[in-house]
Amino acid sequence: MRCLKCKENAVIELRQHNASYCRTHFLSYFTNRVRQNIEHRRMFAPDDRILVAVSGGKDSLALWDVLLGLGFNASGLHLHLGIGEYSNLSLEKTRHFASSRGAELIEVNLAKEYGMGVTELSSKTGRVPCSACGQSKRYLFNKVALDRGFSVLATGHNLDDEAATLLGNVLSWQTQALARQSPVLPRTRPTLVKKVKPLYTLTERETALYCLLKRIDYVEDECPNALGAKSLLFKEVLNRLEENMPGVKQSFVKLFLKRIQPLLKSEQDVDVRDCAVCGQPTTREICAFCSLWQKALSGGVAYNASSGAQIEDRRID
Ligand code: AMP
Ligand code: FES
Ligand code: ZN
Ligand code: ZN
């Protein structure tokens, strides 16, 4: 196997692109794809202040490394979620990377700042851990970015994540979720920060190799709450398809964005206002985060301030 560019020994074969690369040319291929995604989708510009949500896993650390390497002004945000040793290890790897690059890292510890971590939050509210966790993450990403004046929030979602989410949404025809599934969510109101996914065309295999070649130490384990999650099954199925049909994951996501998503514009029309408690955007009087934490802290059910009705909130990201 020879490198497409220089004919040296290749370190990876990318069947979806009909190409193999040596170390040097793989790293430049990877960086160039991220740069192209940023430019092509107008994610951000050199004068933007970017907040990268960093979990300590391979994707978000690879993303942060590429952005710093390209000269972007990128700070990290790590949420200590309080999921046992998994969270401690994630914090350690993130801190280690930040200090090795001399990059700013903002940390939010759920237990210290809000009274409990995800495990307790889930048992007190009766919510599945991943759902309580996902909601808290989305809220805090937006809040920290807003409070600290960042213009954009970047996450490490990769092609496998996007293809698996798409498959899940298609299997149950979640039209509102499909309308929102995009590598760029613009700032539609002052309290909603722009969200971007610069790695959305790169696979997990590619981000893992990037970290290996750049000697980036990351958390290899999945979150213990994700064991048995549907998203892992969807990834497995898509990988089996990819073995027989190289490029299928990429075309699944790319063609969805090109052909289907533009047809779903009307699904994006939601009535958004500011939460009566915290001021963050919501489709209800009190946002999902505030009502979830009210419920956890009071040990009871959260009620809408004026009507007394039980609160539901629609996801707007
Ligand atoms: P996940 O939802 O765990 O698949 O993670 C998707 C993306 O969310 C990651 O690539 C990160 O950018 C971000 N993320 C996940 N967990 C954390 C965390 N604990 N702190 C900061 N960002 C996170
Ligand atoms: Fe949130 Fe696993 S990372 S429950
Ligand atoms: Zn080469
Ligand atoms: Zn709120």
DSSP letter at 157? Answer: -
Q: What mean pLDDT do residues 156-179 have?
A: 97
Q: What mean pLDDT do residues 104-127 have?
A: 95
Q: Which atom of ligand 1 is nearest to the CA of 59?
A: 10
Q: How many helices (H) and strands (E) does the chain have?
A: 12, 10
Kindly report the pTM of this predicted structure. 0.94
SS3 133: helix
Distance 306 CA to ligand 1 centre (A): 34
Cα separation, 119 vs 251, in Å, equals: 37
Cβ-contact 302, 275 below 8 angstroms: no
Position 93 confidence tier, pLDDT thresholds 50, 70, 90: very high
How distant is the alpha carbon of residue 284 from its chain centre? Answer: 24
Q: What mean pLDDT do residues 173-189 have?
A: 94
Cα separation, 163 vs 181, in Å, equals: 10
Q: Which residue has the tokens 């505030």?
A: 290
pLDDT for position 9: 97
What architecture is the 40-270 domain classified under in CATH? 3-Layer(aba) Sandwich (3.40)
Q: Is the CB of 57 under 6 A from ligand 2?
A: no
Distance 55 CA to ligand 1 centre (A): 5
Q: Which atom of ligand 2 is nearest to the CA of 130?
A: 4
**Beta-carbon-side half-sphere exposure of residue 49 (alpha carbons within 13 Å):** 13
Query: How would you class 7 by CB atoms within 10 Å of its CB: exposed for 0-12, middle for 13-18, buried for 19 or more?
Result: exposed
Percent of the chain's residues with pLDDT above 90: 88
Percent of the chain's residues with pLDDT above 70: 94
Distance 43 CA to ligand 3 centre (A): 29
Q: What are the structural domain ranges in the chain? A: 40-270, 272-317
Ligand whose nearest atom lies closest to the CA of 287 = 4
Distance 269 CA to ligand 1 centre (A): 27
Q: Which atom of ligand 1 is nearest to the CA of 81?
A: 19
Per-residue pLDDT at 140 exceeds 50: yes
Amino acid letter, 224: P
Q: Which atom of ligand 2 is nearest to the CA of 134?
A: 1
pLDDT for position 24: 98
Ligand whose nearest atom lies closest to the CA of 198 = 1
